[in-house]
Amino acid sequence: MKAQRIFVSPSFAVVVLFVSMVVVAATAVPYSAQSAEAIQLAATAKTKAPAAKTASTEVAKPVSDILAFKDGALAPLRESEAVSEHSPFADGACDFCHKGNAKNPGPLLKAVNLLCYDCHSEFEEMMTRRAVKHAPATKLCTNCHNPHNSRNKQLLVYEQVTLCTTCHTGIKTLLDTATVKHGAMDGAKCSSCHNPHASAVEKLLIQLPFDMCVKCHSRDGLQDPAGAKLTNFKTLLENNPVWHAPVAGKDCTACHTPHGGRNFRLLVEPYPAKFYSAYEPENYALCFTCHSSSMVDVPQTTTLTGFRDGPVNLHYLHVNKSDRGRTCRACHEVHASKQAFQIRDSVPFGDKGWSLKLNFKKTTNGGSCDKTCHSMKDYDRAKK
Ligand code: HEC
Ligand code: HEC
Ligand code: HEC
Ligand code: HEC
Ligand code: HEC
Ligand code: HEC
Ligand code: HEC
Ligand code: HEC
Ligand code: HEC
């Protein structure tokens, strides 16, 4: 689809969220109090979601677009030390780039990038045509490549991650301090997601983030470092038509950091890891970046949530406990579900891979759950 080639920038994503919220508020909300709440939510999401990203990305600007290679650093290595070798150099064709010969190569014939483009014309085209260009590549190909030979693959002056983080020191700090690592970084590959030269997508990404994330996460049998099975997102998204608004906005990075982080599941803000958790709003900072914690904080309300029996706030009742509060995952599937309100069909419970069914049924003024944590219980907002 053509339209998908446009990068979903945070501000664009917010617009998408905003639009989808208005649509939800206009079509699916059965009582007026919630429409007002939904629109208020829209305002919150709009102002808060991008702020959360900036706060947790921790990336400093690179100091320079030229690496300070000392004199001699680009000199040819002895053949025995080299892992990769440039064909024209191997051929002794020094005079393609130098004014002199192999004995006395002398100064270059012209500016470095122009030399490279003589043979790599596809790079000249790429560096001209693609909208997003990497500053150090525009300036000097030898920022990253030795034109002769190298101890690393693809003539790189350093191994890839070292190379990139020499300038991107913020990413280095992030990788060094991350307690939750991302398997996408294994094999030392920034280039799994970024084009080091130029790209059509913002942040030099090789594809839209959503497409990249879903591509790698679309197989069965992917596991986290603790051995827990990870979801096949292709299957999940295909089989569950009700997508959570930020997922519908194709904004996986609204909630996840791609490089590594300190929160469970690479989340940009904290969210409890277990089925039960003590309630503190800070433990749910992720959800409360976009939703108001007031829906869980007060025991009685007739406006703050639709999950209430008369004025009895059932979000408060289930979640707000000093020790074993149920976490949002007990009832909601945060990516995509079959039912409205991101209500899940079943939830993994315990360590043995058993799933607890919810059997949720929506009614005009409420809903019911059956044969789940408890036998049939219903709620009715109209109840006095
Ligand atoms: C593809 C182009 C290219 C080819 C072919 C090439 N060089 Fe170079 N060479 C360069 C560039 C670019 C530099 C860096 C010079 C600069 O930035 O001022 C360089 C620098 C050097 C230096 C100086 C290193 C330093 O920084 O002090 C030597 C010595 C050298 N080349 C030898 C050779 C020899 C010998 C050959 C042939 C066997 C050769 N080069 C072939 C592009 C090339
Ligand atoms: C005289 C022609 C010529 C010039 C000039 C030239 N290259 Fe190459 N380069 C080649 C050929 C031939 C190959 C091998 C075939 C290929 O990968 O396309 C190659 C391959 C490469 C590779 C991949 C090496 C690998 O091991 O996978 C890199 C990186 C590269 N060149 C960078 C440069 C840079 C940077 C410059 C400018 C400083 C440059 N080239 C200038 C001809 C040239
Ligand atoms: C910021 C570092 C960086 C700069 C600057 C850079 N490259 Fe590269 N280049 C890389 C990396 C990393 C790879 C390996 C990509 C991969 O693993 O897919 C690569 C791969 C290549 C290759 C071989 C693979 C391919 O895509 O054909 C060529 C040729 C190449 N670069 C040419 C250039 C030229 C020409 C320039 C200057 C316009 C340049 N590079 C500037 C980092 C850089
Ligand atoms: C020689 C220094 C240098 C090296 C090496 C380098 N970068 Fe960069 N990079 C920069 C500069 C300068 C910018 C432009 C920063 C800006 O405009 O804020 C940049 C921008 C970027 C951006 C876009 C950032 C944004 O906010 O739009 C990405 C992504 C990136 N680099 C990734 C990489 C990767 C991946 C590598 C390794 C293959 C790498 N860089 C190696 C200097 C470098
Ligand atoms: C190049 C492949 C690749 C890409 C692209 C990729 N992932 Fe991953 N991801 C993995 C692998 C492999 C694992 C399992 C190993 C691990 O957990 O570190 C993983 C694990 C994860 C985890 C669980 C981490 C944990 O330990 O709890 C999350 C969350 C995640 N990815 C989200 C994303 C998001 C969001 C994107 C898009 C920005 C993305 N991934 C893109 C390969 C990828
Ligand atoms: C799993 C895919 C993936 C891998 C692997 C990856 N990145 Fe990124 N990177 C992203 C995404 C997605 C963004 C845009 C994040 C956003 O918009 O919030 C990004 C953004 C960036 C930026 C811009 C600043 C920022 O944080 O927004 C830089 C610089 C960067 N990456 C460098 C790197 C370097 C260096 C590596 C290797 C050490 C690397 N990336 C590996 C996906 C990846
Ligand atoms: C609204 C926030 C949010 C968005 C947007 C989001 N996620 Fe998640 N993601 C979470 C939360 C919360 C968890 C932890 C779920 C749990 O443990 O109950 C999680 C867990 C994960 C995991 C690890 C657990 C598993 O089952 O595999 C992966 C992988 C993942 N997300 C990928 C993605 C991808 C890909 C996207 C975009 C399509 C995405 N996420 C969008 C919040 C989000
Ligand atoms: C990046 C912002 C963002 C984050 C983070 C976020 N949400 Fe949402 N969520 C939204 C938006 C926007 C909507 C649509 C609002 C609406 O329809 O009223 C929504 C809708 C929902 C709905 C369905 C409401 C309905 O009326 O259909 C549930 C349930 C929900 N979110 C739960 C969660 C949970 C649980 C978390 C934390 C794990 C979370 N959200 C994190 C933005 C977010
Ligand atoms: C015991 C099950 C359960 C738990 C636990 C739960 N929810 Fe809900 N939630 C529901 C039900 C059922 C609805 C649908 C209410 C309705 O009928 O309008 C709902 C609705 C919502 C909505 C839509 C607006 C509203 O309040 O009606 C949001 C947003 C939401 N939940 C977020 C969360 C978050 C965030 C958490 C964790 C802090 C959470 N929920 C925990 C069952 C639960």
The ligand minimizing its distance to the Cα of 121 is 3
pLDDT at 57: 45
**Ligand 6 mutation target, pool 193, 197, 252, most atoms within 8 A of CB:** 193
Q: Please identify, by atom number, the ligand 8 atom nearest to the C-alpha of residue 269.
A: 5
The ligand minimizing its distance to the Cα of 276 is 9
Q: Please identify, by atom number, the ligand 2 atom nearest to the C-alpha of residue 112.
A: 38
CA 310, 314, 315, 316 torsion: positive or negative? positive
CA distance 151 to 274: 46
Q: Please state which of the ranges 62-66, 77-81, 141-145, 278-282 shows the lowest mean pLDDT.
A: 62-66
- The label of the residue with tokens 């039960």 reads 276
CA distance 248 to 115: 46
Cα–ligand 1 centroid distance for 160 (angstroms): 22
Q: Please state which of the ranges 34-48, 153-167, 205-219, 292-306 shows the lowest mean pLDDT.
A: 34-48
The structure tokens listed for 169 are: 């020191």
Question: Any idea of the CA torsion for 303, 304, 308, 314, to the nearest 10 degrees?
Answer: -160
**Contact indicator for 285, 270 with CB cutoff of 8 Å:** yes
Report pLDDT digits (tens) over 268-295. Answer: 999 999 999 999 999 999 999 999 999 9
Which residue has a Cα nearest atom 2 of ligand 8?
A: 290
The reported pTM is: 0.90
- Between 24 and 306, name the one with better pLDDT: 306
Q: Which residues line ligand 4 (CB under 6 A)?
A: 61-62, 64-67, 134-136, 143-144, 160, 163-164, 166-168, 190, 194, 196, 203-204
Mean of the pLDDT values across residues 131-139?
A: 95
Q: Please identify, by atom number, the ligand 3 atom nearest to the C-alpha of residue 143.
A: 5
pLDDT of 189 > 90? The answer is: no
pLDDT of 137 > 50? The answer is: yes
Which residue has a Cα nearest atom 34 of ligand 4?
A: 164
Pick the closest to residue 363 from 350, 381, 347 (CA basis): 381
pLDDT at 377: 94
Which residue has a Cα nearest atom 23 of ligand 1?
A: 75
Mean of the pLDDT values across residues 102-123?
A: 95
Report pLDDT digits (tens) over 143-168. Answer: 999 999 999 999 999 999 999 998 99
pLDDT at 353: 78
DSSP 72-135: TTTSPPPGGG-SEE-HHHHTT-GGGTBSS-SSS--SBSS-HHHHHHHH-HHHHHHHHH-SEE-H
pLDDT of 21 > 50? The answer is: no
**Ligand 9 mutation target, pool 21, 40, 301, 315, most atoms within 8 A of CB:** 315
